[in-house]
Structure formats: structure tokens, C-alpha cells
Structure 1
Amino acid sequence: MEKLNSIIFYNIDKAIRSYRNYAQRQLKANGFTITIDQWLIIKAILENPGITQNEIGDLVFKDNASITRIIDLMVKSEYVTRHTHPDDRRKTNLEVTESGKTIIREVQNIVEKNRKTALNGISNEELEVMYSALLKISENCLNPKK
């Protein structure tokens, strides 16, 4: 029987979780209360004006309930504002506040240091191969060929 450490998907998940935990510790150590998920959602809103909560969930791999909870916290922290859509009351428009834009700028250096630490000792060629392989895995799972 194969061991966990020999399963590629176990190792991918382990690497992602290790990185997220490390990145969150670094944010906290530098006095920031923003979470990695909040950072991702703010970035998603900034990069995709008019994005819906469902689209955010798809983009950051979170379910609707989690997205709603995180956005509620960000509204309370004044990183994001939520306005009812003028034509459809079931929809909301999300907008990043100046405070939200400021926190993204302030956190950027830590994010870059985190990535540098995580990728230490990995060559550009290795990164290209990994990137290509991960894209193929995603494509294979999104569009399986029987």
C-alpha cells in the first residue's frame, strides 16, 4: 500500500497548508490582524470590479457561507463596503475602502517575503515545470477526457 508522503496530491495540499500557516503567522508577527482569506478577497474585488460573491467564492475556493462570513468581518473592519445592487436587491456591490486599499499596500512587502521564503532554493526552471504541471492537473480535472 502506498504511503501518504508518496501521493502527489497529499504533498501539494501539505505545501499549500504549510505556506498558508506560515504566511498567516508572518502577518500576525508584523502586527496585522487581516487574514490570508481576507487579503485574497480584497485582491479579488480590486482586480475584478463588479465581481459577485459567488464569483469570489469560485476564485478563492470558498463556499458561499464562508465568503459571506468573511465579507461581513471585512465590512465590520471597514476594509470593504457592501451596497445593494440598484436593479436587483438580491445582489450586492462590493467596494474596497481606502482602509482596505491601504492594508493591501502595507501587507504587500510581507507577502513578497513570504513567497521568497517559500520558494527558496527552487530554480526558475523548476518553477516553470511545477507551474505547467499544476495547470495540466487543473485542466484534467476541470475537463476530464474519458
Structure 2
Amino acid sequence: MTPDDPLFQSPMYLMLEAVRMARRRAAVLHPGEPLRIQHVLSLAWLAEGPISQRELSDRLSVDPADLVSVIDMLERHGYVERHRDPDDRRRYALHITTGGRRALREHRTRREEVHESLLQALTPDERDELSALVLKLLAANDPRFAEPEADQGSPDRTSTHP
């Protein structure tokens, strides 16, 4: 493929390649990392407080059946515990453990190393612009990324960013 190939003019293709590059770089910088994006996102939401598996599925826009294996893995590693929901004994509430909080903090540190490695060619202003443009695209297509209404008292999403 050469720079005059139409794929080089496709922002979606270029974003896909950037994600693939980030995964490869993360694997080189941090071999054996057990957490994947769904694990990290789950831990980030659970760090805000216990929620049901169904609620987590909705927040992540993941099929509940697909989330089961994610939660099972987090539970096996001691990052998450399932407790009966006192309001509905048929449901389980998911709780992040101390180990899960530690794993989330460590992942964030490793993520910053990967970001710094990948984004070193960009100035701080260019990084901000890139983030703003991607966020604008996401917000226009997924309400999870839209700016929260000022009067809704929504939690600050920056605290849960993986």
C-alpha cells in the first residue's frame, strides 16, 4: 500500500490502524498484560460503586452474555466480587476489590506509557486537538460520549477513563 492509496484518505481506516498499533505497542511494552479494554472499562465503572451485571452491560454497550466471560476473568483474578443484591435477591451486584483498584491504577500507568510512546510525534496542542476531534465523532454517534447536561449531576467521566 502506498500513500496515494484511497485507504490513506479514510479516517476510519487510519483510526483502526492507530488502534492496532497501540495494541502492538502495549504488547511490546507490557507483555503478559491480562487486562483487555473490556476488563479495564468494567473496573473503571465498578470503581464508581457497585452495580448489577445488567447495568454494567448497558453502560459498556456490551451484550450481557458477552460480559459474563469478562466478569468471570476479573473474578478469577480477585479484581471483582459478586454479592447478592439486597434489593433483589435474584440479582448480583458487582463490587471492585482492593486488588481490582490496584490493577486499574497500574493499568492506567501502563496506558500512559503506551500513549506517550505512540503520541510522541505530536505536540501537546496536537494531542488535545486529536482527542477533541475523536470525542466529537464519538459524541455525535454514541450518547455515552456526549457532554453531560449541567443539571443532571452526572459523574465526571475523566475519573473512570481506562
TM-score of the aligned structures, taking structure 2 as reference length: 0.70
Higher relative contact order (CA 8 A, sep 6+): 2
Rounded to whole Å, the distance in 2 between the matches of 1:35 and 1:139 is 23
Rounded to whole Å, the distance in 1 between the matches of 2:71 and 2:43 is 9
**How far off its partner does 1:140 sit?**
2.6
Alignment of 1:50-89 (within 5 A): 50-89=50-89
Rounded to whole Å, the distance in 2 between the matches of 1:25 and 1:64 is 31
Greater displacement, 109-118 / 98-107:
98-107
Q: Provide the residue aligned with 1:113 in structure 2.
A: 113
SS in 1 for 2:94: strand
Q: Which amino acid aligns with 2:40?
A: W
**How far off its partner does 1:115 sit?**
1.4
Q: Provide the residue aligned with 2:149 in structure 1.
A: none
Q: Provide the residue aligned with 2:98 in structure 1.
A: 98
**Which deviations, in whole Å up to 9, do the C-alpha atoms of 1:50-95 show, x marking residues without a partner?**
3343443454453322221110111122111011211224432111
Alignment of 1:127-142 (within 5 A): 127-142=127-142
Rounded to whole Å, the distance in 2 between the matches of 1:35 and 1:142 is 21
Identity %: 26
Conservation of the 8 A alpha-carbon contact between 2:84 and 2:90: yes
Rounded to whole Å, the distance in 1 between the matches of 2:22 and 2:99 is 26
Equivalent pairs, count: 139
Q: Provide the residue aligned with 2:12 in structure 1.
A: 9
Q: Provide the residue aligned with 2:40 in structure 1.
A: 39
Give unmatched runs, 5+ long, in structure 2.
144-162
TM-score of the aligned structures, taking structure 1 as reference length: 0.76
Give unmatched runs, 5+ long, in structure 1.
none
Conservation of the 8 A alpha-carbon contact between 1:23 and 1:36: no
